[in-house]
């Protein structure tokens, strides 16, 4: 049983890593029209930049539900699932 949860943690963790890179590329794509300085800051400060762009998009569109926000929420859920399944696999050892 332990092996199943460990395998699940590995798969979900890998998906979370891939999704993080996709989110970061999306944030870079959003930052591109705003100039080189904002794009470089987005490149250097990934998580801070995503929060900044979520707030900027919300202020411009007036809605909290957009692609970047939804992807970030899914990523947070995947990270929590990775840690939870990792802990369960250690407890069943």
Domain edges within the chain: 2-91
pLDDT of residue 52: 94
69 Cβ contact partners less than 8 Å away, ≥ 6 residues apart: 54, 57, 58
Average pLDDT of adjacent 10-residue blocks, the chain of 93 residues:
72 93 94 92 92 92 89 93 84 62
Distance set, CA 44 to CA 48, 52, 55, 71, 76 (Å)? 9, 13, 18, 20, 20
Please state whether the predicted TM-score (pTM) of the whole model is above 0.75: yes
């Amino acid at each position: 049983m332990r092996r199943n949860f460990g395998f699940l943690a590995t798969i979900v963790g890998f998906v979370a890593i891939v999704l993080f890179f996709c989110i970061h590329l999306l944030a870079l794509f959003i930052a591109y029209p705003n100039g080189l300085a904002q794009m470089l800051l987005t490149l250097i400060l990934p998580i801070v930049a995503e929060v900044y762009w979520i707030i900027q998009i919300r202020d411009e569109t007036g809605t909290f539900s957009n692609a970047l926000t939804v992807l970030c929420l899914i990523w947070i859920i995947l990270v929590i699932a990775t840690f939870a399944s990792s802990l369960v696999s250690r407890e069943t050892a």
